[in-house]
Chain A
Amino acid sequence: MKISGAEILIESLKKEGVDTVFGMPGGVVLQIFDVLYNEKDLKFILTRHEQGAAHAADGYARAKGRPGVALVTSGPGATNTVTAIANAHMDSIPLIVITGQVASRMIGNDAFQEADIVGITRPCTKYNFLVKSVDELAMTIKEAFYIASTGRPGPVLLDIPKDISGARADFEYPEKVSLRSYNPTYYGNKWQIKQAAQAIMKAKRPVIYAGGGVILSNASDELKELAEINKIPVTLTLMGLGGFPGTHPLFLGMLGMHGTYAANMSIHDSDLVIAIGSRFDDRVTGKVSEFAPKAKFIHIDIDPTNIRKNIHVDIPIVGDVKNVLMELNKEIRMIEENKNQLIKEREPWYSQVKEWEKEHPLTYKKSNKIIKPQYVIEKIYEQSGGDAIVASDVGQHQMWVAQYFKFDRPRTSITSGGLGTMGFGLPAAIGAQFACPDKLVFNVAGDGSFQMNLQELATIAINKLPIKIAIINNGCLGMVRQWQELFFSQHYSGSILNTIPDFVKLAEAYGIKGLRAKSPSEVEAVIKEAISTDGPVLMDFIVDPGENVFPMVPAGGGNAEMIFGEPAKVEKGKAIAKKEKKNSVLPA
């Protein structure tokens, strides 16, 4: 029996196990929406903006570990998803974006709401398709999911002309897919793995530097095993947070620009850096030539282009992180007879690391007059027992979440790493809450970032999502202001937001409970009330506008040259000290 392209699409999505689709309708996708009208097994979630839909699908994917799906119309609907697609691309998130397109015979005629979305998104998708015949539709969907979720995952866009949704064809969902030109390498080279094991069992000052690849390949258990078998300290990138327990004694904290002193110094003095599912991003390495200058590198990654892109690697291993780590751990166990001896020989290293941790732990100046943003994160961590998903936005608050929320489990830190997309957090929290309906989900937002997609408060209210939004309200684009303070003579150009709107009233306008904390003593009570409230709550924390994220490696500097927010103290490792700024950097 022949069914319509629109029906084929929805049936295929169900075959792929999709239960939720985020989006917004429009002219050329009406056929598809008509099928959705009677659909029982597939939830359609109407967002208030297509960027919100695609970010929500992305958040869903990050929390669930399965592709998220967005469905939008042609032209502006499609172009509105571009930022979200680029965002997913940078962070290797499996995302399926289905865009309607004008009828096949109209393509290229500048038809109403026509945009060459395949052309526009070519550089920011893993792959994209323009469907040319209804007979290919099912296979194309199969391929789209296959490409998005295998190898190094990424976004795939499917552009479906209006006439294809309307045309009819026999439907049989393909069981298998194989593409002769696409064969990711899943298993690492055995010989290289042996080399790596030997290097690890010889290293006196080893460090593991792991990233988002650990989470994408569900390899956190294997990573933990590797670290524990012969006691290797671990640092994580922003994307890797949760891939290794934040409360583990071997955990050094995040590394890089706003990483911990211990993490950056450990890398700097290490003789063996084991890079796992990480790509030597510039926010991580600082000045590349000064990144781990004394170390040999092992680099495990599924994407060969990541290897030797930014840094010379001694032992490259291309493969799926989980598989490679399983093999590597096996290999290490086979040659671990000298393990106790080795751990003894590494004692000076462990004590050095401990010393760094003691020398400069993460810290901030406490206050009982004004709310310190770090304090809010600490309290959220404490009150949630650490058992929550936190979707953050982009800016200072994002770094404070990364520093002060000790993520113990993978897929609980949801943040825009590679692209740094303000406005990601709120819709991503929506996606995460749909993916994990029983989990406590926070969106920690900056007052700037929040305003980039605040329309999605409607989506939260209508779907009664119990998301707890914490706005770290500093009245400014804090991260920009921080750079201007430190590097542009305190010229706060274009970075002051003037504390508008009234977020509590805004929440109330959407039928969402709004709470506000103005002094440190109110913080805990507000968080407690939010957590114990059924349904969504927006918390507005009026925080110290002058607070900065420390430590910090100035852009282009080496990671050992960190700035601290404390009174001048010249530290070992060329640390440059900086006087704490006064709080009154902003107009009242």
Chain B
Amino acid sequence: MQHIISILVENKFGVLSRVAGLFSGRGFNIESISVGTTMDASTSQITIVTKGDERIIEQIIKQLNKLIDVIKVVDLSEKDYIVREAALIKIHTSRSEDRSEALRITEIFRARVVDSTPTSYTIEITGDENKIDAILNLLRPLGIKEIVRTGKIAIAREDMKVPAIQEVKKLRA
């Protein structure tokens, strides 16, 4: 099963290679990886999408926790979470009908044209994997020149501080 693992690490040089090295050294798989800063300049956030059975995921999480520079590991797949990735898509638009079709598609997906030349558009899109796959499918007939996709980033949904159903019932009774 696919798991999204969120890793808070010390923002030190070499940390990414320790994390990536752990995966390659132990034969774990990385489907995507993304790294960025956090509010605290001394830490970074790594988001890794990986696959494996329960035992492997347990090992991955334990092994990550064991790395000296890792501060916190969360398997988001155990929670409710929001996941996003982004893509930049460059398409051919020499014919004017292609240009208007591209704009229409862009609109439908709430994407944006971020660069334009007489013969091309560059479209920026953010969303989950399905959304990005869907826009790509629609744009493909126009002729895609180039695609760049990010890895996934994800965040747990905040607990809604609403009493559980039983509690509500109790309150009502």
CB of B71 within 8 A of CB of A180, answer yes
Given known contacts A304-B62, A308-B55, A309-B59, A123 and B25 CB-to-CB distance under 8 angstroms: yes
Chain A 282-309, CB within 8 Å of chain B: the 1/0 string?
0000000000000000000001110111
- Residue B17, interface by CB 8 Å: yes
Query: Contacts of B70 on A, CB cut-off 8 Å?
Result: 181
A130 to B14, CA, bound (A): 10
A567 CB contacts on chain B under 8 angstroms: none
Q: In the docked arrangement, what's the CA distance between A119 and B59, Å?
A: 23
Min CB–CB distance B116 → chain A (angstroms): 40
**Docked complex: B69-85 residues within 8 A CB-CB of A:** 69-71
Known: A305-B63, A308-B58. A122 touches B14 (CB 8 A): yes
**Contact of A123 with B21 in the complex, beta carbons under 8 Å:** yes
* B14 engages A118 (CB within 8 Å): yes
Chain B: which residue is nearest A156 at the CB level?
B68
Of residues 11 through 49 on chain A, the ones whose CB sits less than 8 Å from some CB of chain B are: none
The residues of A that contact B25 with a CB separation of less than 8 Å are 123
CB distance from B25 to the nearest CB of A (A): 5
Residues in A240-288 with C-beta less than 8 Å from chain B: none
Distance (whole angstroms) from the CB of B12 to the closest CB of chain A: 10
Residues in B neighbouring A182, C-beta threshold 8 A: 68
In the complex formed, the residue of A with least CB distance to B66 is A305
Does chain A have a CB within 8 A of B10?
A: yes
Instruction: Report A-chain residues with C-beta under 8 Å of the C-beta of B10.
Output: 181
How many B residues, CB 8 Å from partner?
19
B45-64 contacts to A, CB under 8 A, are 55, 58-59, 62-63
Given A305-B59, A308-B58, 15 more A-B residue pairs with CB atoms under 8 Å apart are A118-B14, A119-B17, A122-B18, A123-B21, A123-B25, A126-B68, A130-B13, A179-B68, A180-B71, A181-B9, A181-B10, A181-B68, A303-B66, A304-B62, A304-B65
Give every chain A residue within 8 A of B66 (Cβ-Cβ): 303-305
- In the assembled complex, the CB of B14 is this many whole angstroms from the nearest CB of chain A, namely 7
Distance between Cα atoms of A40 and B111 in the complex (Å): 72
B interface footprint on A348-390 (CB within 8 Å = 1, 0 otherwise): 0000000000000000000000000000000000000000000
Give the Cβ gap from B30 to chain A, nearest Cβ, in Å: 16
With A and B bound together, what is the CA distance between A185 and B151 in angstroms?
Answer: 33
Say if the beta carbon of A127 comes within 8 Å of chain B: yes
Contacts of A180 on B, CB cut-off 8 Å? Answer: 71
Asked if residues B59 and A181 are in contact (CB atoms below 8 Å), the reply is no
Q: Which residues of B contact A130 (CB under 8 A)?
A: 13-14
Q: Which of B9, B10, B17, B68 has the most CB of A within 10 A?
A: B68
Q: How far is the CA of A182 from the CA of B67 in the complex (A)?
A: 8
**In the assembled complex, how far is the CB of residue B2 from the closest CB belonging to chain A, in whole angstroms?**
21
Interface residues of B in 21-60 (CB under 8 A from A): 21, 25, 55, 58-59
Q: Once the chains are docked, how many angstroms separate the CA of A182 from the CA of B66?
A: 8
Q: Which residue of B lies closest to A118 (CB)?
A: B14
User: What's the nearest-Cβ distance from chain A to residue B154, in Å?
Assistant: 21
Interface residues in chain A, defined as those with a beta carbon under 8 Å from any beta carbon in chain B: 118-119, 122-123, 126-127, 130, 147, 179-182, 303-305, 307-309
Give Cα distance in the complex from A428 to B65, angstroms. 32
A147 to B67, CA, bound (A): 11
Q: List 24 A-B contacts (CB under 8 A).
A: A119-B17, A122-B14, A122-B17, A123-B21, A123-B25, A130-B13, A130-B14, A147-B68, A180-B71, A181-B9, A181-B10, A181-B68, A181-B69, A181-B70, A181-B71, A182-B68, A303-B66, A304-B62, A304-B65, A304-B66, A305-B63, A307-B62, A308-B55, A309-B59
The 8 residue pairs across chains A and B that have the minimum distance between CB atoms: A305-B62, A181-B71, A127-B68, A304-B62, A123-B25, A182-B68, A305-B63, A305-B66
Nearest chain B residue, comparing its CB with the CB of A152: B66
Chain A residue numbers with a CB within 8 Å of B62 are: 304-305, 307
Give the residue name and chain of the A residue nearest to B54 (CB): A308
Closest to A124 in B: B25
With both beta carbons as reference points, the residue of chain A lying nearest to B70 in the complex is identified as A181
Cα of A130 to Cα of B69 in the assembled complex, Å: 14
Smallest beta-carbon distance B114→chain A, Å: 35
Do A122 and B21 touch (CB < 8 A)? yes
In Å, the complex CA distance between A283 and B65 comes to 27
Residues of chain B with a CB closer than 8 A to A126's CB:
68
In the assembled complex, how far is the CB of residue A133 from the closest CB belonging to chain B, in whole angstroms?
13
Q: What B residues does A123 contact at CB under 8 A?
A: 21, 25
By a CB distance below 8 angstroms, the chain A residues around B58 are 308
> Which A residues are in CB contact (< 8 Å) with B55?
308
**In this complex, what residue of B is CB-closest to A304?**
B62
Q: Which residues of B contact A119 (CB under 8 A)?
A: 17
A119: nearest chain-B partner, CB-CB: B17
CB distance from B60 to the nearest CB of A (A): 10
Bound together, the chains give a CA A305 to CA B66 distance in angstroms of: 8
Chain B nearest Cβ from A157, distance in angstroms: 12
Complex: A123 Cα to B14 Cα, angstroms: 12
Closest chain A CB from B72 CB (angstroms): 8
Residues in A whose Cβ lies below 8 Å from that of B63: 305
Q: How far is the CA of A571 from the CA of B62 in the complex (A)?
A: 42
Q: B71 — which chain A residues lie within 8 A by C-beta? A: 180-181
Q: Which residues does chain B contribute within 8 Å of A303, judged by CB atoms?
A: 66
Q: How far, in angstroms, from A180 to B55 measured CA to CA in the complex? A: 27
Interface centre among A123, A181, A305 (most CB of B within 10 A): A181
Minimum distance in angstroms from A331 CB to a CB of chain B = 26
CB-CB under 8 A from B9, the residues of chain A are 181
A305 to B68, CA, bound (A): 14
B residues near A147, Cβ cutoff 8 Å: 68
B52 to chain A minimum Cβ distance, whole angstroms, is 14
Neighbouring B residues of A118 by C-beta, 8 Å = 14
| Assembly CA distance A535 to B18 (angstroms) | 46
* B69 contacts across to A, CB distance below 8 A: 181
Closest chain-A Cβ to B56's Cβ sits at a distance in Å of 10
Nearest chain A CB to B90 CB, angstrom units: 34
Q: How far is the CB of A177 from chain B (nearest CB, A)?
A: 12
Closest to B63 in A: A305
**Which residue of chain A has the shortest Cβ distance to B9 in the bound complex?**
A181
A541 to chain B, nearest CB (A): 41
Residue of B nearest to A303 (CB): B66
Give the CA-CA distance A307 to B9 in the complex, in Å: 24
- Residue on A nearest B10 in the bound complex, by CB: A181
Give chain A nearest CB distance to B75 CB in angstroms.
Answer: 15
Name which of B9, B66, B69, B71 has the most chain A CB atoms within 10 A of its CB: B66
